[in-house]
Amino acid sequence: MKPLLQMAERERASKRLTELREQIAYHNHRYYVLDDPEIADSEYDRLFRELEELEARYPDLATPDSPSRRIGSAPLEQFAPVRHTLPMLSLENAFDEGELFDFETRMRRFLNLAGPIRYYAEPKIDGLAVELVYENGLFTLGSTRGDGLVGENISANLGTIGNIPKQLPALPAASPPPRLEVRGEVCLTIAGFKALNRQRTAAGEPLFANPRNAAAGSLRQLDSAITAARPLEFFAYGVADPAPLGVASQQELLQRLAALGFKIIPNGRICADLTQVIDHFRHLGTLRHQLPYEIDGMVAKVDDLALQRRLGAKARTPRWAVAAKFPAVQATTRLLAVEFQVGRTGAITPVARLEPVQVGGVTVSRATLHNEDELRRKDLRIGDTVLVQRAGEVIPEVVKPVVEKRDGSQGEISLPGACPECGTPLVRKAGEAVTRCPNSRGCPAQRLRALIHFTGKAGLDIEGLGKKAMEQLAAADLVRDIPDIFRLRAEQLAALPGWGEKSAANAEAAINARKTVELARLLAALGIRHVGEVTAQLLARRFNSLAGLLQAEEHDFLDLEGIGPQAAAALTTYFADSANREMLRQLEEELGLKISAPPASTRAQPLHGEVFLFTGTLARGSRQEAKNRVKELGGQVATALNRKVTHLVCGQSPGSKLAKARELGVAILSEEEFEQLLARVGG
């Protein structure tokens, strides 16, 4: 009977291993490639730990392609591949102090060492791991970790990060070697993350779940201008090969990198033994909510580089480093109800009303459920015990129901068929995750949120007209539409509860100060779907005036690099709408709004009016660098062959665009001819 039981257990283990590998591969793709995870890190760690434990129990069931032997995920096809000189490995995790002692025990056994081991311990910043290559002190290449062996070439995007040195100093005591491969983490501060999500809310775009995903999404932009507009920072934590630097310890290595101009992760320290490592881990746990950036634990590395070399690495992790992870900032509570909020663009967002619970030092009574698909995927019921976390230490969210605690009393969640604010039937377009109220003009919730956006920080930032003030003005029927804001007078405001003569006068002065506004700022404030700060700047530079935008057609928007079909359609619809055109006319003609064009570039614009399209692989540099040079000289870059393209630049294997360009009579340039053209016009 016993062999039969063992066979059954083995069969169950084999089946579970297959399930775990599929789940982890899926979540790796969501996390590393799409920058859009579906589960909390703690839930992913639980799945990964279960996989490792089952493979340890049944080693013959382990497979060569198991996630336990791989790092990250394959690079995206949109970026050129970069093979790392030495693999960029992942880190072994420790979830409690006992696992830290196990980690050291394994090292001692491997080294046959009885004496103390000194460590360097630093916060584990939650960002995107990258590698920067310097040749003779010059930054020449930047890439993501990718699958550990091959990453993505994101040199142009990394070059926009202000604190990444472009040239290393030649110091007597710290001169860079002929080739230096610096590794570190690109991250967003929590303040930067909040600001970015405010912009995305303004543009009607999905929010980033946490700073890590925001940083990764920012670095994977095909337009470096978008990356440049985001407040990214780089922290160095090591190099591929420390030997050329002539240092003996991890601490010396970081000191040398700091002398070369790199920002080093703050709050790192030398620990004489594992007890001090644990003390520092506890100390960082008390600091984590006060730090300007998000950390999810601490990394402890053997300080002695000679010991690091002796220890070497396993399939996916070094033997000389461990990531001590903080407990997830999570708690369980009860789901009391689900309310449906109407956003500025009509998006219907389900919001969980919870029994108040402490999560990471903050009382949480409401949490986002994102959209209908997310609600269904999590299979939530009214009355469920649910797991709640503060994602990115910022946004409370419901992770999942605790199904084991269901007792049959839980009720189904009814999804509304009509707008909870105006009663209009809701619509959901094919391919979109969001259900919307289409009554943009008649829905009071949409009108109010559009007004709040217009006067808020993502809009014109009119001092004194914040969210509460706009709610009060709308309730008093003083402001129904954007032009009403500019009709407000101090005496009207002073008559409202909570206002005095001084605050009313200050608000009127602030309104008048915004009667001169840059075109890009006005466009961002109008709240057009898919149009945030970066897109607004692109539009202002291209069309130069509100009149130019009102005359534009959809193909004019599509011709702009960085504007896709959704944004182009939204812009066309917005500026074709007679009510919107009348509102803009009132602002300019009746209320005296002065809309200023973007400042003229002081650079020569020899390629003004020329439109370039690139095809094939460029041998002399990255395609993004070539695009940037065209834009710097006043030209435009197209994403597809159309009637406005004037030049097709062909690299290796140009594909079908070459034949079509010949048919259209487009000027065709080799890469060498393109370089010669730039040299002639001053590029």
> Do 657 and 191 meet the contact criterion of CB atoms below 8 Å apart?
no
Evaluate if residue 246 carries a pLDDT over 80. Answer: yes
In angstroms, rounded to a whole number, what is the distance separating the alpha carbons of residues 130 and 156? 13
Q: Which CATH code for domain 81-325?
A: 3.30.470.30
DSSP per-residue letters across 342-408: E-TTSBEEEEEEEEEEEETTEEEEEEE--SHHHHHHHT--BT-EEEEEEETTTEEEEEEE-GGG--S
Question: Count of CB atoms within 10 A of residue 414's CB?
Answer: 9
Domain extent listing, the chain: 2-69, 81-325, 330-405, 444-596, 611-681
Q: Write out pLDDT tens, residues 171-192.
A: 666 677 899 999 999 998 888 8
Diameter over CA atoms, the chain: 91
Q: Which CATH code for domain 2-69?
A: 1.10.287.610
Active-site residue set: 124
> What average pLDDT does range 105-117 have in this prediction?
90
> What average pLDDT does range 535-546 have in this prediction?
86
The rounded Cα 206 to chain-centroid distance in angstroms is 11
Lowest mean pLDDT: which of 102-106, 219-223, 363-367, 604-608? 604-608
Q: Write out pLDDT tens, residues 58-98.
A: 877 777 667 765 554 544 456 788 999 999 988 998 988 99
> What average pLDDT does range 200-216 have in this prediction?
74
DSSP state of 175: P
> Of the CATH numbers 1.10.3720.10, 2.40.50.140, 1.10.4100.10, 1.10.150.20, which one belongs to the domain with range 330-405?
2.40.50.140
Question: Count of CB atoms within 10 A of residue 440's CB?
Answer: 19
Work out whether strand 594-596 and strand 516-518 pair parallel, antiparallel, or are unpaired. Answer: parallel
Of the two residues 340 and 653, the one the predictor is more confident about is 340
Q: What are the beta bridge partners of residue 135?
A: 138, 179
> Do 103 and 289 meet the contact criterion of CB atoms below 8 Å apart?
no
pLDDT of residue 392: 44
> Do 49 and 99 meet the contact criterion of CB atoms below 8 Å apart?
no
What is the signed CA dihedral for 521, 227, 554, 622, rounded to 10 degrees?
A: 140
Instruction: Give SS3 for 650.
Output: strand
Nearest to 43 by CA among 57, 24, 18: 24
% the chain with pLDDT above 70: 89
pLDDT of residue 242: 93
**pTM score, whole prediction:** 0.50
Evaluate if residue 485 carries a pLDDT over 90. Answer: yes
Nearest to 330 by CA among 390, 289, 275, 280: 390
Evaluate if residue 542 carries a pLDDT over 90. Answer: no
The third-level CATH classification (topology) of the domain covering 444-596 is DNA polymerase; domain 1 (1.10.150)
To which residue do tokens 């030997």 refer?
243
Output the average pLDDT for the chain: 85
Q: What are the beta bridge partners of residue 359?
A: 362
DSSP per-residue letters across 470-486: HHHHHHTTS-SSHHHHT
pLDDT band at 33 (very low <50, low <70, confident <90, very high): low
Q: Write out pLDDT tens, residues 420-477.
A: 999 999 999 887 778 999 998 899 999 999 999 999 988 898 999 999 999 999 999 9
DSSP state of 404: G
Domains 2-69 and 611-681 share a fold: no
3-state DSSP helix/strand/coil % of the chain, to nearest 5: 40, 20, 40
Q: Does domain 611-681 have CATH number 3.40.50.10190?
A: yes
Rounded CA Rg of the chain: 28
pLDDT of residue 602: 46
